[in-house]
Structure formats: C-alpha cells, structure tokens
Amino acid sequence: MTDQFAVRVFGGPTALFEYGGLRFLTDPTFDGPGDFQAPAVVLTKTAPSAGAPADLGPIDVVLLSHDEHADNLDTSGRTLLADVPLTLTTPGGGQRLGEKATGLADWQSIDLDRPDGGTVTVTGVPAIHGPGPREEVEPICGEVVGFVLTGEGLPTVYVSGDNASLDAVKEIAERFAPVDTAILFAGAPRFAEVFDGRVIVLDSAMAAEAARLLGARRVVPVHYDSWAHFTEGRDELEAAFTAARLADRLDWGRRP
C-alpha cells in the first residue's frame, strides 16, 4: 500500500514512526537490562533496547499509554520527555508529568498542526490493563489509554497501549474500522501475584482477533520481547495470525 509508512521498533513497547510530517514515539523504554520495582511486582528487563535516545532524532509527540510502569516509561524515557514538545497520555499521567503532557480521556481528541499544512487528529481510546472491568483493574494496574491517529489524506492508525480488552477494541472498531495500521501491544504478560496469572495485555490469539475486529490492513506487533513477564513472543504471534488467516497482515517493523 502506498500509504504504509515505516515503523522502527526498539524492543518492548517502543516504536518510532512519521505520520503527517510529524514524528511519533510510543512508550519510551531505553534503560539497560535489570530489575524495576512496580507497585505489586518486580519487572525484569532481559535485553537492551535496539538503539538509544540519541539515535532517534527530533521527536514531535510521545504517545504514552501510561507512566506508572517501567516497561512503558523508564528512567531514560522520562529524561527524553523533557526534550519532546508534547506527550499524550492518560488523564492522570497528564497531571503527573508536567506542563508538556496532556491527558486524553476516552474519545477526547487533539488536533496537531502538520508542518506542510492541515492537521493530525489524535483521539484517546479505551484501554484496560488487565482482565475484567475498569473498576476492578485500575486500582491494581492503573489507568491506560490507546490512540487513534487520523487526518485528511492519511491512513488511520491505532496504537493500542497496554490493553487486554477485546470489548474495548470492538468499541474502537465501531468508530474507526477499517484501520490501515494497528500497532498492537501483545506479549501476554502475566504475574502470579496479579489477577491469578491471567494476561494483563493481549495474548497472541487476542491480538489476531483484535486485528480482525479492526479490519487492520497491517499489524505491527510491539511489547512482546525484552521483558521476563512477556510469556508469548514472535513465534506465538506468527502462529496465531497464521491460524486466523491473517499472517499476511504482519509487519515486524524495522530495527535501527
């Protein structure tokens, strides 16, 4: 497709792409391997990022699914935010991260000026970071947001964030399907201490179903490698998309 743009992947949830003349970065995580304390568990990073903040060039917007877990925003990522004009994130994150951050509630949109005229519209969309309804999940895993990007003459892009709810995906599909590019956070992360080991972000089969619901023409998986709590990786994603007859939609992105 002529409207497909390159997506650079760095490991974990971090991806870089240019859209409408603006450069977007998802959930920046560039710290080295090690242990990171989360509210209820310890997160272990197992592999370095495929690049460093210095390799990125200028970033116009960070799309941050949430700021409370180090596998989505680590120390180097927080440092990077200081040099980025705008971070879009959860309403709570918008309050915590300072004046350059803006929180988006469900279906709330912001228009960003494109360098050559026109606008990119970024809409905050529902995401739930665990199994069950928000009121049960958010006290444990916190608030999360996804994003849909649209603009005149531009493809429709969905960035899922740390979402485990196919019901949320159905709501998004009702408003925006078909989606040209879906950047899906997957990896089937699990912790024995949280929700009895049930997944807190899409597993591979759920990611394939999300792609089907969205009518996604291209799927770029992220958030499936480099952390110990991801229980499914590239092999499981390929198998699930093959079983769903969607293997031709997969795009693994470019490593720097």
pLDDT (tens digit per residue) in 195-208: 988 999 999 999 99
The predicted-structure confidence for 134-187, as pLDDT tens digits, reads as follows 999 989 988 999 999 999 999 999 999 999 999 999 999 999 999 999 999 999
The predicted-structure confidence for 42-70, as pLDDT tens digits, reads as follows 999 999 999 999 999 999 999 999 999 99
Q: Which residues pair with 35 in a beta bridge?
A: 44
Number of domains in the chain: 1
pLDDT at 1 over 60: no
Does residue 25 belong to any structural domain of this protein? yes
Name the helix (H) or strand (E) containing 110: strand 109-113
Does residue 46 belong to any structural domain of this protein? yes
pLDDT band at 4 (very low <50, low <70, confident <90, very high): confident
Q: How far is it, in rounded angstroms, from Cα 87 to Cα 74?
A: 15
Radius of gyration of the chain (CA): 17
Does residue 159 belong to any structural domain of this protein? yes
Q: Kindly report the CATH number assigned to the domain that includes residue 144.
A: 3.60.15.10
pLDDT at 2 over 50: no
Does residue 210 belong to any structural domain of this protein? yes
pLDDT of residue 223: 97
Does residue 254 belong to any structural domain of this protein? no
φ/ψ of 197, rounded to 5, equals: 80, 5
Cβ-contact 66, 89 below 8 angstroms: yes
Cβ-contact 230, 187 below 8 angstroms: yes
**30: which residues sit within 8 A by CB, 6+ positions away?**
10, 14, 49, 51, 52, 53, 74, 76, 77, 80
Report the percentage of the chain scoring pLDDT > 90. Answer: 90
pTM of the model: 0.96
Tell me the residue type at 81: L
pLDDT of residue 194: 85
- Give the rounded distance of the alpha carbon of 98 from its chain centre: 21
pLDDT at 78 over 90: yes
Does residue 87 belong to any structural domain of this protein? yes
Q: How far is it, in rounded angstroms, from Cα 205 to Cα 210?
A: 9
Does residue 132 belong to any structural domain of this protein? yes
Angle between helices 234-243 and 204-214 (to 10 degrees): 50
Does residue 60 belong to any structural domain of this protein? yes
pLDDT band at 3 (very low <50, low <70, confident <90, very high): low
- Give the rounded distance of the alpha carbon of 3 from its chain centre: 20
pLDDT at 131 over 90: yes
Buried b (16+ CB within 10 A) or exposed e, 12-27: bbbbbbebbbbebbbb
Domain around 39: 7-249
